[in-house]
């Protein structure tokens, strides 16, 4: 079932309540070529479901003897409003040009920007107002100070956790050396990285941590 007309600028669409019929392009190559020539559409190739409406044919082109309106075998489309279509295309082109021109700078804006203006154009993140820049700097300094405090707190927690691990490891190693715990028990209750170190190394680590906690004056 046809849906619209293939003629340029024709807005006719299929509606059973409107007295407009649609007619398929002929299968005969010569007649089909003649129809395409008369339609005057660039690079137009009609398909199996390409139609022209009855508005583009003269009354003498139709055979009205049956119940339906049919085209005669020699009918060709001759009624086209190419002027309206060309005007529409020109109007669209003109509107597009106006739209593009509206974004084109006029007057003094055509002048080449100076060095400071060029910097602002190339670096859109630059501040135009010194007070705005100062506020931003103060805000960033506060954020940096807050991050430094958080980092200091994390380092302190890490040191405390390290001291606890060293003390616990030394305690377990001492009990193992005093035969108060079975040999090799440290391998099961301590991480592999700690259980493989000798007791002397842990004593040195514990002393080093103690010296850091209580510096000699």
pLDDT tens-place string over residues 15-54? 888 888 899 999 999 999 999 999 988 899 998 889 999 9
Which of 38, 56, 80 corresponds to the end of one domain?
Answer: 80
Based on its alpha-carbon atoms, the radius of gyration of the chain, rounded to whole angstroms, reads 45
- The single-letter DSSP state of residue 53 is E
Segments forming the whole domain that contains residue 166: 130-193
Q: What is the pLDDT of residues 43-100, one digit of tens each?
A: 999 988 899 999 999 999 998 887 888 899 999 999 888 766 555 555 555 656 555 5
Does residue 104 lie in a domain region? no
**Beta carbons within 10 angstroms of residue 118's beta carbon:** 11
Same domain, 70 and 138: no
Does residue 182 lie in a domain region? yes
Residue 55, helix vs strand vs coil:
helix
Closest C-alpha to 25, from 7, 12, 10: 7
CA-based torsion, 109, 111, 112, 114: positive or negative: negative
Does residue 198 lie in a domain region? no
Q: If you average pLDDT over residues 156-166, what whole number do you get?
A: 84
Same domain, 1 and 75: yes
- Report the C-alpha gap between 26 and 44 in whole angstroms: 15
Same domain, 76 and 134: no
Does residue 135 lie in a domain region? yes
User: In this structure, what are the phi and psi dihedrals at residue 120, rounded to the nearest 5 degrees?
Assistant: -65, -35
Does residue 201 lie in a domain region? no
Does residue 213 lie in a domain region? no
As given in the structure block, the two tokens for residue 99 are 């739209």
Going by DSSP bridges, is the β-strand pair 70-71/22-24 parallel, antiparallel, or unpaired?
unpaired
Residue 11 pLDDT: 84
Q: Is 50 exceeded by the pLDDT of residue 216? A: no
The most distant pair of C-alpha atoms in the chain lies apart, rounded to whole Å, by: 123
Does residue 212 lie in a domain region? no
Domains in the chain, number: 2
Same domain, 136 and 62: no
CA-based torsion, 109, 111, 112, 118: positive or negative: negative
């Amino acid at each position: 079932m046809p849906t619209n007309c293939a003629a340029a600028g024709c807005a006719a669409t299929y509606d059973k309540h409107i007295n407009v019929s649609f007619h398929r392009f002929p299968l005969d190559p010569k007649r089909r070529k003649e129809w395409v020539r008369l339609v005057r559409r660039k690079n137009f190739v009609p398909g199996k479901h390409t139609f022209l409406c009855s508005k583009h044919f003269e009354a003498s082109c139709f055979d009205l003897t049956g119940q339906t309106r049919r085209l005669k075998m020699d009918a060709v489309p001759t009624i086209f409003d190419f002027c309206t279509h060309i005007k529409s295309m020109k109007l669209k082109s003109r509107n597009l040009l106006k739209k593009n021109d509206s974004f084109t700078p006029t007057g003094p804006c055509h002048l080449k920007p100076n060095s400071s203006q060029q910097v602002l154009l190339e670096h859109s993140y630059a501040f135009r107002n010194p007070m705005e820049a100062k506020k931003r700097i103060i805000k960033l300094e506060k954020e940096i100070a807050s991050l430094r405090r958080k980092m200091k707190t994390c380092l302190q927690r890490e040191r405390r956790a390290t001291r606890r691990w060293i003390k616990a490891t030394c305690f377990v190693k001492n009990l193992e050396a005093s035969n108060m715990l079975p040999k090799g028990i440290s391998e099961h209750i301590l991480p592999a990285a700690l259980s493989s170190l000798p007791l002397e190394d842990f004593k040195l680590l514990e002393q080093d941590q103690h010296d850091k906690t209580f510096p000699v004056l």
